[in-house]
Amino acid sequence: LQAADPEPGMTGIVAPKTPASPRQPPGERAAGALWAFGKSLAALLPVYLAGYYGFSICIVLFGLMIYMGWKHSRLEKEMRLKSSMFLLENEKEFTTDIAFRAKRDLPPWVNFPDVEKVEWLNKILQQAWPFVGQYLEKLLVETIAPAIRASSIHLQTLSFTKVNLGEKAVKLVGVKAHTENDKRQVMLDLYLSYAGDVEINVEIKKYFCKAGVKGVQLHGKLRVILEPLIGNLPLVGAVTMFFIRRPKLDINWTGLTNLLDIPGLNAMSDTMIMDAIASHLVLPNRLTIPLVADLLVAQLRSPLPRGVVRIHLLEAEDLTAKDTVIKGLIDGKSDPYAVLRVGTQIFTSHHVDSNLNPQWREMYEVIVHEVPGQELEVEVFDKDPDQDDFLGRVKVDLDIVKKARIVDDWFNLKDVPSGSIHLRLEWLSLLSSADRLSEVIQKNHNLTTKTTDPPSAAILAIYLDQAYELPMRKGNKNPSPMVQISLQDTTKESKTCYGTNSPVWEDAFTFFIQDPHKQDIDIQVKDDDRSFSLGSLKIPLSRLLDSPELTLDQWFQLENSGLSSRIYFKVVLRILWLSDDATPTTPSPRPSSSGSGTGLGEITSDLNPMGPGGLSKTQPTRPQNTTPDPEFATEGVLRIHLVEAQNLIAKDNFMGGMVKGKSDPYVKLRVAGITFRSHTIKENLNPVWNELYEVILTQLPGQELQFELFDKDIDQDDFLGRFKLNLRDIISAQFIDTWYTLNDVKSGRVHLVMEWLPRVSDLVRLEQVLQYQSQQSYQNKVVPSAAMLFVYVERAHGLPLKKNGKEPKAGIELILKGVSYKTKVYERSTSPRWDEAFHFLVRDPRDEILTVKLSHSWGQALGSLALPLREVLAEPDLVLDRWLSLDGALPESQILLRITLKVLDTQLAVCRGTPVGAAGDVRVDEVFPRWDPSHLDLKHRSGFSMANENTNSTGQVKLTIGYSTEENRLFITVHSCRSLAACSKDGADPYVSFILLPDKKATTKRRTATKKRDLNPEFNERFDFEFSLEEAMQKKLDLSVKHSVSFMSREKELIGKIQLDLDQMDIKTGVTKWYDLQAESS
């Protein structure tokens, strides 16, 4: 009996031995020896030629490196292919003996219905695979090869010499069915895995060129949609297929295409092939096969997107250090950047130099075509000059974002020891009505990021169908038309239809729209050389806003074209809307560790039941209110009314003084380092100035008001007298209205009205004060202040990064009615803390606006805030203390402020009720009388309270004294001084000098920089000393504030001094406070 042929793929059957091959004839043996000799000679030939022509040995080494790289890449690819084939051949033994070794006791009826196995279909494919190979061979040889030969004269000798699909069929790893979305369709996800021994060889005899493929791997998820379901056979109207994401491809080249396995070219060749596949079979591209007639294939091939996801790539923490030093002995940093993928949409962030906790603060918008199914994949890399290092990845199922609307969370990076990334994902629904368009645009104005593209308000979908009777080319030849569609700075091109003036394109395009009121669709129909125009068309998007359901579906007449030239396309506008009831998930704190397991990342989401980020910790809360210094808002306002003068000395004499003339008097007023100057009154010994000055002062002892009168002259002004007033006496008296006699002159006196203004938080009193102020008029056009505004700037949070990706050096400028103050610049942080206080005089708090501007080193804007003071008037006790959102920044950018408004309660205004009389006039019940100094002793007047009654104080100095136990050093920080005593007519040029006693050799003597003409200087200088804690406790700080004088100057040098025993202070925790300076006599 003749034995039957064994089944393909059966093992364990021993085939009969074949007879030994006959002995090779001598001619074949000689040819083999010559071939071996020729290969050896060819290997040595490059070395010989390099020496013969005098080339550098580096060329030979370079060629050897390329050959070794090609060989290594080739061997790796063959090993991957063999491993995949072995796995597919022994899948049952592998999964039973290894993967599920710990679960052998599972009963046979257990299955996993989410992704079902279809072994019966794999058996059918395996059985039919040889016949699929026969069909492919016939297709390539009889159809494709003749078409290629006819396309070019250089390819007339092309032929497929071998077409063999091998014995390994495509395998379906699993099938998942989705039937819950639409009752008129069936959606299937097919998980394909192919590791085949396919062999296809091509030869071009004219050029002695051979090329081919031997072995291919392809793995991916293919979605098949059967829609619409109909009541007639075949029950399905069409079959639509596409890959959800790019499949993984690995090709083993042969022949001339071996060159594609050279390092650098192998990745390029695989990418080019994947681009070709993606252009037809990866979302948003679809392959649609209609099964019945009269079906709208265009709607199936190019449906509207399901929605848009706005991705905020915020920051990452605890990334792996890849740039190590000394071969990994010392950990370095990384230069991280992120790559985000959703289907074929790919975005790359900027890289942040040398940072394991980078902040990107970038925004991207992606169109989502299929949910469930599409995922956001984020990969983080370390930027390097050669090859970038992998820092981790994370995948997020966009179906979860659609259900949650907003996901704001930290996500663990996979496949790395540590690292997490902070994402904010927003699902934007598509509205077919323009009712909320203005609201969307307004919201987008308040949202800025580091990306160049502003947020979109809508998306535009264009389905380009066909054109009719386009103009002919010269010579009455048919054109090869293509279409360019442009919106603002974005241009997209259709495919080219060759040799026809009535082309059918059936292409779809999508655009993001910032403002439909301001943008137009520009359509250019051109020949394939792009130089010959066949027609054009421009459609304002505002036209769509008036169309039903924001849609135009019609023929359009082309301009600059033929009389009958038309084009047909469908335009759909959809408004992007973030639901009002969407509440973001609370951002979890950065996780302490991240998982490195891969899991089934292609099928399941990385999110677990604890939340989108898989984290269960509570977020550390930020302080909700400020913590200002106790001395905040303790300043007061002194109002000085310079009324007139009498009996001044005449300085402009004539004829050597024989004829008395006049004077041209003016006044100089100095207080707290500020100088005011009145206007000059010509030729008058009894001038009336009627000028008002206001100055903000702290209640420190020793401060004086200096008044000097001068006669204005062409050369040098003449002295007319002076006098000084103690600020303490004015504060104690509250209100003074009197004449002061001029000193150092024969005659003259000055009339002043001065008032230390009480501060209250009474809105009723504010109305009375404003009414009084409106009735006053002064020569220097000053409007009296009705209130005083105190602003405490504590901190900010979530500021945007610089344009180069680095953290900003943030500073704040406060502006109110032309008066501006600036904070210090905080070093490199998106959450800076300033702890600085400022004050303003306010004319009318009902109309004025406080502007807060944040910037990087007073350059790049980081956000701003405009706060009307009437909002402060609505707060309890006229105090606003909370976080405020910034405009022109990120959504999470905020600033923590304390704003206090105090009404300046002048005694000249009505202080009690003002009932209205019968005639409607306002009757003043009581007005404070003018104060006469002859009836009151200022030294014994009550009502004045000081923190320090030391009259010898010459100012204060702010110091921080502390000890660092970690560094074993004592540090002293000189912050600033305030209210220093003046040492000259220009104030003082102060600096701080100190020494730690006992110190015989003066090794601990230090001094700060000198601040010119400043009685309130800021130094912010730190000094460190290498002492043990015991040594530091034995020291005494001897500090002096001095005025920098020249060698021959007679001005006083010492302003004030203090001595502090460090053993009386808690220097281990650090002490920051103001200290009173004592005069030298003390």
Mean per-residue pLDDT, 1025-1029: 89
Number of other residues whose CB lies within 10 A of the CB of residue 903: 26
Establish if 497 belongs to a structural domain: yes
Mean per-residue pLDDT, 917-934: 38
Q: What is the pLDDT of residues 749-766, one digit of tens each?
A: 999 999 998 888 888 888
Type of residue numbered 765 = R
- Say if residue 862 is in the same domain as residue 1004: no
> Exposed, middle or buried, 965 (CB in 10 Å: 0-12/13-18/19+)?
exposed
Query: Among residues 340, 240, 319, which one has the least CA distance to residue 280?
Result: 240
Q: What is the pLDDT of residues 219-240, one digit of tens each?
A: 888 888 888 888 888 888 889 8
**End-to-end Cα distance, the chain:** 131
Do the bridges between strand 186-204 and strand 171-178 make them parallel or antiparallel, or are there none, so unpaired?
antiparallel
| DSSP class of 886 | P
Q: What is the pLDDT of residues 558-574, one digit of tens each?
A: 999 988 899 999 999 99
Mean per-residue pLDDT, 1005-1029: 88
- Cα–Cα dist 1033/1066, whole Å: 9
232/280: higher pLDDT: 232
Establish if 601 belongs to a structural domain: no
What does the pLDDT read at residue 268? Answer: 55
- Say if residue 295 is in the same domain as residue 159: yes
Number of other residues whose CB lies within 10 A of the CB of residue 107: 5
Helix or strand holding residue 86 (H, E): helix 57-89
Residue burial 767-796, b: 16+ Cβ < 10 Å; e: rest: ebbbebbeeeeeeeebebbbbbbbbbbbbb
- Say if residue 142 is in the same domain as residue 266: yes
Question: Is pLDDT at 459 greater than 90 in this prediction?
Answer: yes
Instruction: Using the 3D structure, point to which of 245, 274, 301 is the last residue of a domain.
Output: 301
Type of residue numbered 52 = Y
Mean per-residue pLDDT, 137-153: 80
722: its two tokens: 């002076």
- Say if residue 746 is in the same domain as residue 839: no
340: its two tokens: 């985000």
What is the tally of helices (H) and strands (E) in the chain?
14, 52
What does the pLDDT read at residue 144? Answer: 79
- Give the angle 215-221-227 at the CA atoms, nearest 5°: 125
- Say if residue 271 is in the same domain as residue 123: yes
- Say if residue 315 is in the same domain as residue 463: no
Whether the Cβ atoms of residue 845 and residue 873 lie closer than 8 Å to each other = yes
896/138: higher pLDDT: 896
976: its two tokens: 């600033």
Query: Among residues 326, 386, 317, which one has the least CA distance to residue 355?
Result: 317
What does the pLDDT read at residue 602? Answer: 39
- Cα–Cα dist 179/188, whole Å: 9
Number of domains in the chain: 6
What does the pLDDT read at residue 788? Answer: 93
Establish if 322 belongs to a structural domain: yes
Q: What is the pLDDT of residues 800-852, one digit of tens each?
A: 887 777 788 899 999 998 899 999 988 888 889 899 999 999 999 998 999 99
What does the pLDDT read at residue 270? Answer: 59
- Cα–Cα dist 244/223, whole Å: 7
What does the pLDDT read at residue 944? Answer: 32
Three-state SS at 805: coil
Q: What is the pLDDT of residues 897-920, one digit of tens each?
A: 999 999 998 878 754 334 433 333
Identify the domain containing residue 547 by its residue range. Answer: 458-577
Q: Predicted confidence band at 376 (pLDDT cuts at 50, 70, 90)?
A: very high
- Cα–Cα dist 868/880, whole Å: 12
| DSSP class of 142 | I
What does the pLDDT read at residue 729? Answer: 83
- Cα–Cα dist 584/607, whole Å: 16
Q: How many residues does the chain have?
A: 1082
What does the pLDDT read at residue 927? Answer: 39
- Cα–Cα dist 893/864, whole Å: 10
Whether the Cβ atoms of residue 464 and residue 508 lie closer than 8 Å to each other = yes
Helix or strand holding residue 26 (H, E): helix 26-52
What does the pLDDT read at residue 427? Answer: 92
667: its two tokens: 């006044």
Bridge partner residues of 227 (DSSP): 238
Report DSSP letters for 669-696, one per residue: EEETTEEEEPPP-SS-SS-EEEEEEEEE
- Cα–Cα dist 573/545, whole Å: 8
Whether the Cβ atoms of residue 358 and residue 335 lie closer than 8 Å to each other = no
Question: Is pLDDT at 109 greater than 60 in this prediction?
Answer: no
- Give the angle 8-13-17 at the CA atoms, nearest 5°: 105
> Exposed, middle or buried, 754 (CB in 10 Å: 0-12/13-18/19+)?
buried
Three-state SS at 221: strand
55/794: higher pLDDT: 794
Establish if 650 belongs to a structural domain: yes
Q: Predicted confidence band at 535 (pLDDT cuts at 50, 70, 90)?
A: very high
Instruction: Quickly tell me which residue has 């970690």 as its tokens.
Output: 966
CB hemisphere CA count around 93 (13 angstroms) = 5
Those residues whose C-beta lies under 8 Å from the C-beta of residue 965, and which sit 6 or more positions away, are: 1029, 1068
Whether the Cβ atoms of residue 250 and residue 270 lie closer than 8 Å to each other = yes
Q: Tell me what percent of the residues of the chain surpass a pLDDT of 70.
A: 80
Question: Is pLDDT at 611 greater than 50 in this prediction?
Answer: no
Whether the Cβ atoms of residue 191 and residue 172 lie closer than 8 Å to each other = yes
Instruction: Using the 3D structure, point to which of 301, 320, 343 is the last residue of a domain.
Output: 301
- Say if residue 506 is in the same domain as residue 563: yes
Establish if 264 belongs to a structural domain: yes
Q: What is the 3-state secondary structure (H, E, C) of 626-648?
A: CCCCCCCCCCEEEEEEEEEEECC
Those residues whose C-beta lies under 8 Å from the C-beta of residue 997, and which sit 6 or more positions away, are: 1035, 1036, 1037, 1038
Poorest-pLDDT segment among 68-82, 369-383, 936-950 = 936-950
Q: What are the φ/ψ torsions at residue 249 (nearest 5 degrees)?
A: -130, 140
Number of other residues whose CB lies within 10 A of the CB of residue 717: 17
Whether the Cβ atoms of residue 497 and residue 505 lie closer than 8 Å to each other = yes
- Cα–Cα dist 880/865, whole Å: 14
- Cα–Cα dist 89/379, whole Å: 33
What does the pLDDT read at residue 181? Answer: 67
Q: Predicted confidence band at 984 (pLDDT cuts at 50, 70, 90)?
A: confident
**CATH number, residue 684:** 2.60.40.150
Q: Predicted confidence band at 745 (pLDDT cuts at 50, 70, 90)?
A: confident
- Say if residue 182 is in the same domain as residue 244: yes
Mean per-residue pLDDT, 746-751: 90
Question: Is pLDDT at 241 greater than 60 in this prediction?
Answer: yes
User: Is the peptide bond between 284 and the residue preceding it cis, with omega within 30 degrees of 0?
Assistant: yes
- Say if residue 259 is in the same domain as residue 312: no
Establish if 5 belongs to a structural domain: no
Whether the Cβ atoms of residue 341 and residue 377 lie closer than 8 Å to each other = yes
- Say if residue 117 is in the same domain as residue 233: yes
Query: Among residues 832, 827, 835, which one has the least CA distance to residue 799?
Result: 832
- Cα–Cα dist 320/382, whole Å: 9
Establish if 511 belongs to a structural domain: yes
Number of other residues whose CB lies within 10 A of the CB of residue 134: 12
Query: Among residues 729, 637, 629, 697, which one has the least CA distance to residue 979?
Result: 697
Those residues whose C-beta lies under 8 Å from the C-beta of residue 571, and which sit 6 or more positions away, are: 460, 461, 462, 521, 539, 544, 551, 552, 553
- Give the angle 575-344-579 at the CA atoms, nearest 5°: 25
- Say if residue 421 is in the same domain as residue 495: no
What does the pLDDT read at residue 913? Answer: 39
Angle between helices 57-89 and 26-52 (to 10 degrees): 130
Q: Considering the chain, what is the average pLDDT of its residues?
A: 79
Residue burial 1031-1067, b: 16+ Cβ < 10 Å; e: rest: ebbebebbbbbbbeeeeeeeeeeebbbbebebeebeb
CB hemisphere CA count around 268 (13 angstroms) = 8
What does the pLDDT read at residue 911? Answer: 45
Establish if 417 belongs to a structural domain: yes
What does the pLDDT read at residue 140? Answer: 79
Q: What is the pLDDT of residues 285-334, one digit of tens each?
A: 788 888 888 777 777 777 888 899 999 999 999 898 887 665 555 567 88
- Cα–Cα dist 791/632, whole Å: 9
- Cα–Cα dist 661/718, whole Å: 14
181/977: higher pLDDT: 977
What does the pLDDT read at residue 610? Answer: 41
Number of other residues whose CB lies within 10 A of the CB of residue 388: 18
Poorest-pLDDT segment among 351-355, 580-584, 743-747 = 580-584
Give whichever of 17-26, 792-801, 923-932, 1066-1075 has the largest mean pLDDT.
Answer: 792-801
- Say if residue 137 is in the same domain as residue 272: yes
Bridge partner residues of 725 (DSSP): 705
Bridge partner residues of 1079 (DSSP): none
CB hemisphere CA count around 987 (13 angstroms) = 20
Mean per-residue pLDDT, 512-537: 90
Instruction: Using the 3D structure, point to which of 757, 775, 803 is the last residue of a domain.
Output: 757
Whether the Cβ atoms of residue 408 and residue 585 lie closer than 8 Å to each other = yes
Poorest-pLDDT segment among 36-40, 108-112, 152-156, 953-957 = 108-112
